[in-house]
Amino acid sequence: MMVQHVFLVGAKSLGAYGGYETFINKLTEYHASNDRIKYHVACKANGDGCMDPYQTEGAEILSETEFEYHNAHCFRIRIPEKIGPAQAIYYDVKALEECIRIIKVQKIVHPIVYIMACRIGPFAGHFYKAIHKLGGEVYLNPDGHEWMRAKWSAPIRKYWKISEQMMIKYCDLAICDSVNIERYIHECYDGKGIHGRDPKTTFIAYGAETRKSQLTDEAPKLMSWYAEKGLKADNYYLVVGRFVPENNYEVMIREFMKSKSQKDFAIITNVNDKFLAELEEKIHFKKDPRIKFVGTVYDQELLMKIRENAYAYFHGHEVGGTNPSLLEALGSTKLNLLLNVGFNREVAEDAALYWSKEPGDLAALIERADQMTGEQRAEYEAKAKQRIREAYSWEYIAGRYSETFLKR
C-alpha cells in the first residue's frame, strides 16, 4: 500500500493561537492513525508563535531540528529575528527549501506540498517547477483577502494582491475554506493560470468541536479567572480574536457603550498599549466599566468554558474565509451576534443573529438579546451546534482532506 506524503507549510506550529495552527493540530490529530497519509510539518524554531517540542506533551524528539507529534514528522525552521514583516516570507521560503531537501533525501514519490496563505508569490513559479520536477504537486490554501486588511500600507496591499495572483497561477489545487473565497478565485483568476487555464479549486472548511469543556462550572482555574477579571458566568458578552481594524472592535465597543445592557463586555485579544490608547482617544471606553479587555487565554479548555458561560458572543470579522473563532463560538456559545457579511452568513445560516455597522443597529440588537428568554437562546444554541456537526466537525473536515489527498 502506497503512503501519500503531505508537506504542510505556512503555520507557525501545531496548536498555537491561530487558524492555521489549530487546523494543522486537528488534522494531524484526527489522522494520527491513518496509515495512508504521512505528514511533514514545518514549525518555527524561534520568534513569535514558535513551538518548543521539549515543552509539548506528546512530542517525541528526534534531533535538535526534528520531532514527531501526532505521528507527523515535524521540522523546525530558524529565522533571523531582525527582518521585521519579511519574517513570514523568509520562513515560508526556507520551509519549502527544506521540503524539497527531504523529498530528495528520502526519495519520496509523488509528494503533495500544501502551502497555507499567499505570502511568497514572487517565488511561486520557482518552487512549483522544482516540486513538479520531483514528481510532486503544489496545493494552496489562499486564506482570505489579505490584500484588503487595513493594517497594511498601500504598497504592501499591492504586494499581497500580486502575490495571491502568482500563487493561484502556480498551484495544482486551491483548497478554499469558504464558498465565497472559491467564487472569488474564479471571478478574479479564471483564464490566468499556466497556459491560460482556469485554477482548479475545491471547498473544504475549517473545523470545530461541539463537545463541552472538561472544566466544571466550579473549577478553581475558572473561578480564579472570573475573580481576576471581574466577570460572572452568563453575565457577559464575549469576543475572541486578533485586535485588527477589519474585525470591527471599535464598532462593537462603541455600540455596546450605547446600549442599556447591564452585562459586561469581555474582550479576549492580544491588544497592545498603542492600540488601546488610540481606541481610548476615539471612543473613551475607559469611562464605561462594562468594557473589559481581559488579555489572552491560551488554555483551550478554559477558553472553551469561557465561551460556554458567555451570555452571547460577538463576531465582527469582515475579511477572510471561514473564521476559526466563529466556528468555535457556534460550537460552544448559546447565542451568537454576527456582522452581516457573506462569509458569516455562509457559516451560521439561521443559527445566529446579524448586525450591520450602521450606527445604533448593534446597540438595538444587544438590547433585544438581553430580553431573550433562556428557551430562545437554547433554540439558537441547538441550531448552531447542529450546523457545526453537519458541516464543520473536525471528523468531517479531516475526512474531506483525506479524500482530497488520496485522490491522485
Burial (CB count <10 Å: 0-12, 13-18, 19+), residue 11: buried
Q: How would you write the pLDDT of the chain (408 residues) with one tens digit per residue?
A: 799 999 999 998 887 656 788 899 999 999 999 999 999 999 999 987 888 888 888 899 999 999 999 999 999 999 997 887 788 899 999 999 999 999 999 999 999 999 998 999 999 999 999 999 999 999 999 976 555 555 666 777 788 889 999 999 999 999 998 888 899 899 999 999 999 999 999 999 889 888 999 999 999 999 999 999 999 999 999 999 878 777 899 999 999 999 999 999 999 988 778 888 989 999 999 999 999 999 988 788 999 999 999 999 999 988 766 778 899 999 999 999 999 998 899 899 999 999 999 999 999 999 999 999 999 999 999 999 999 998 899 999 999 999 999 986
- For 213, residues 6+ apart whose C-beta sits below 8 A from its C-beta are 301, 302, 304, 305, 308, 332
Whole-number Å distance between alpha carbons of 302 and 300: 5
CA 225 remoteness from chain centre: 25
Secondary structure E strands in 251-351? 264-268, 291-293, 312-315, 336-339
Mean pLDDT, all residues of the chain:
92
Q: Global pTM?
A: 0.81
List residues bridging with 292 in a β-sheet: 266
- For 37, residues 6+ apart whose C-beta sits below 8 A from its C-beta are 3, 4, 5, 6, 31, 402, 405, 406
- What sign does the CA torsion over 230, 231, 236, 242 have? positive
